[in-house]
A and B are shown apart, each in its own frame.
Chain A
């Protein structure tokens, strides 16, 4: 079974440019997460989806970040315009639900470098 698939793996853009990341979760997983991981730190949640509904987006900088999960499967995360401080690894994860013992499976991440 394929795991969580993310693309691209790496992205280098100039500041003020837009960028988009794509995530395909594990088949059947209703819950999808986007995390940002800064260098030397743990992942920080940006947004969580239950099917197509964003149920936790309090940490998403809504002035420049947006996300969507049409049809409750694949998801895209967009930054427009990107800033130097957005350089990080963006991780997507999925799970079959939420609750104790529900494992979240992570993709390999997209490493974004803003220059």
Chain B
């Protein structure tokens, strides 16, 4: 089955700095990669996603990049704000299986004012 590795587990930045979270996946059949943000006491919420036929996608201050050859994808947050503080999860879905997302272990992002 799919295996998703996520790094770092904790990321601490100053407000205004950029933050980068990286994930790798194992199943070459995976073709959809969503990113979720989970705030304390809440369920994960989709913030951005990317499909395998696209190398990069941007939405305001967040962007995702995908390298299919290397099987890794990254989340980039620019001009971080304290409200960006949360746990971020990457996930990968394979069209070859039951199309269930496999999640990474999460990155706790702390943005200091």
Q: Scan residues 24-42 of chain B and give those whose CB is less than 8 A from a CB of chain A.
A: 31-32, 34, 36, 41-42
Q: With a CB–CB cut-off of 8 A, which chain A residues contact B9?
A: 40
Q: With a CB–CB cut-off of 8 A, which chain A residues contact B113?
A: none
Say which residue of B43, B49, B89 sits within 8 Å of A109 (CB atoms). Answer: B43
Say which residue of A56, A100, A106, A108 sits within 8 Å of B32 (CB atoms). Answer: A100
Q: With a CB–CB cut-off of 8 A, which chain B residues contact A99?
A: 32, 95, 99
Q: Scan residues 84-102 of chain A and give those whose CB is less than 8 A from a CB of chain B.
A: 91, 93, 98-101
Total of A-B residue pairs, C-beta within 8 Å:
59
Beta-carbon contact of B44 and A106 below 8 Å: yes
> Does A55 belong to the interface (CB within 8 Å)?
yes
For A, the interface residue count at a CB cutoff of 8 angstroms equals 24
> Does A77 belong to the interface (CB within 8 Å)?
no
> Does A61 belong to the interface (CB within 8 Å)?
no
Measured CA separation A100–B104 after assembly (Å): 18
Say which residue of B43, B95, B98 sits within 8 Å of A91 (CB atoms). Answer: B43
